């Protein structure tokens, strides 16, 4: 049997251990304490504009914005791990389907705000107030100006026609924009017609799905294919890039807002919600209200060529040149509701 420690030493060790435990307890408790001067943001967006807006918010309110940046999946997994001890106040990500998923996983809490309700149209926010759109992203048909007559291409459904065999470019079915777009078609057309559309597009692929939206545009310019499903802001960024080669690439591509005689072009969002255990809830709501205010909405439109969610905001010159269009006003909550069904359809129809 080992000899026991002298009583004085034992008392000292117990005292030190107690102090360590107490300090750890205070540290953990502090993770959830309110701090009137701080708002903690978990963000999937990675634009300089966002950081400039956070700094502007601090200038106006004296509330410091602390940002953790990662992918949406990483941020949601982190929120789950942290639970009630999470320091996060705000989650910002892209895609309404992801925001719906965060709501379903209990990572967000509802917010009632007259400012948010007034600024954001009902179809661009959660009906129960769990998340709110910040910017709009329109899914367009990009095409070769040289090889495509725009009169032959009016709707998403046209991509299944025989004339487009071997000419269609797309990202993989794992891409969240494709999943949400298909979810919107399930909502509008029903699952059977939506699956028939997927099979028709797959039959017309120019090459296996791959790359991001910019890669689709490059492959149009290179003659790999003639038409692609992309978000409009990718074209806007090319046209306004510092690099002349990028601007030339943008000029080789024409854009079409589809389904203008029907439901309108599919719209997705980047969006925001207050986290379930936000220690600085009031600051979180103030930041969200600032981000849908006129100043922030103009900045989103001018810097990243996204469409503002707030009506009456002047679009960036490039967006004005493209002209007005009819947008699908499906409530974006439906994208999340049909998310799993869309994934299953892609798998059955062979869109890899």
pLDDT exceeds cutoff 80 at 27: no
Class for the domain spanning 137-265+333-349: alpha beta
Per-domain boundaries in the chain: 38-136+267-314, 137-265+333-349
**What digits encode the pLDDT tens for the residues 178-215?**
999 999 999 999 999 999 999 999 999 999 999 999 99
Does residue 333 have a pLDDT over 80? yes
Q: By three-state DSSP, how is residue 105 classified?
A: coil
pLDDT for 22 beyond 60: no
Does position 25 have pLDDT exceeding 70, yes or no?
no
Torsion of CA 40, 46, 49, 50, to 10 degrees: -20
pLDDT of residue 35: 74
Q: What percent of the chain has pLDDT over 90?
A: 89
In terms of phi and psi (left: phi > 0; alpha: psi -120 to 50; beta: otherwise), the region of 76 is alpha
Per-residue pLDDT at 349? 98
Rounded to an integer, the average pLDDT of 258-269 is 98
| Cα–Cα–Cα angle for 220, 221, 224, rounded to 5 degrees | 50
Mean pLDDT over 109-124 rounds to 98
Residues making up the chain, counted from first to last: 352
**pLDDT score at 337:** 95
Question: What is the predicted pLDDT for the residue at 16?
Answer: 38
Same fold, 38-136+267-314 and 137-265+333-349: yes
C-alpha–C-alpha distance, residues 28 and 36, integer Å: 18
Condensed to tens digits (0 to 9), the pLDDT of residues 160-175 reads 999 999 999 999 999 9
Q: Which residues pair with 141 in a beta bridge?
A: 229, 256
Residue 252 has pLDDT above 60, yes or no: yes
For residue 49, give the 3-state DSSP assignment.
helix
| pLDDT tens by residue, 280-291 | 999 999 999 999
pLDDT band at 33 (very low <50, low <70, confident <90, very high): low
DSSP string over 257-285:
---TTTT-B-EEEEEEEEETT-TTHHHHH
Q: How far is CA 308 from CA 41, 196, 297, in A?
A: 21, 33, 6
The highest-level CATH class for domain 38-136+267-314 is: alpha beta
**Average pLDDT of span 311-315:** 95
């Amino acid at each position: 049997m080992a000899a026991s420690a002298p009583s004085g030493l034992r008392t000292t060790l117990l005292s030190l251990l107690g102090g360590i435990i107490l300090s750890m307890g205070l540290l953990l408790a502090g993770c959830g304490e309110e701090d009137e001067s701080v708002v903690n943001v978990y963000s999937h967006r990675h634009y300089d504009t966002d950081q400039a807006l956070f700094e502007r918010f601090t200038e106006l309110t004296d509330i410091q914005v602390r940002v953790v940046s990662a992918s949406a999946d990483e941020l949601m997994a982190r929120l789950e791990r942290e639970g009630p001890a999470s320091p996060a106040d705000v989650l910002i990500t892209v895609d309404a389907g992801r925001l719906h998923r965060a709501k379903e996983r209990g990572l967000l809490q509802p917010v009632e705000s007259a400012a948010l309700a007034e600024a954001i149209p009902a179809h661009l926010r959660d009906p129960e107030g769990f998340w709110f759109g910040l910017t709009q992203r329109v899914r367009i048909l990009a095409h070769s100006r040289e090889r495509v007559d725009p009169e032959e291409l009016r709707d998403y459904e046209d991509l299944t026609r025989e004339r487009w065999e071997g000419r269609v470019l797309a990202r993989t079915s794992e891409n969240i924009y494709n999943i949400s777009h298909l979810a919107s078609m399930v909502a509008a057309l029903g699952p059977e017609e939506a699956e028939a559309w997927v099979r028709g597009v797959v039959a017309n692929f120019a090459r296996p799905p791959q790359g991001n939206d910019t890669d689709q545009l490059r492959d149009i310019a290179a003659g790999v294919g003639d038409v692609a499903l992309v978000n409009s802001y990718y074209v806007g960024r090319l046209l306004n890039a510092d690099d002349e080669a990028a601007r030339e690439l943008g000029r080789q591509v024409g854009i079409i807002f589809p389904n203008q005689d029907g439901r309108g072009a599919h719209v997705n969002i980047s969006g925001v919600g207050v986290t379930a255990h936000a220690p600085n809830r009031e600051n979180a709501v103030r930041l969200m209200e600032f981000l849908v205010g006129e100043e922030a909405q103009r900045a989103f439109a001018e810097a990243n060529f996204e469409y503002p969610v707030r009506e009456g905001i002047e679009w960036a010159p490039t967006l004005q040149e493209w002209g007005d269009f009819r947008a699908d006003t499906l409530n974006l909550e439906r994208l999340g509701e049909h998310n799993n069904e869309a994934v299953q359809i892609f798998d059955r129809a062979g869109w890899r």
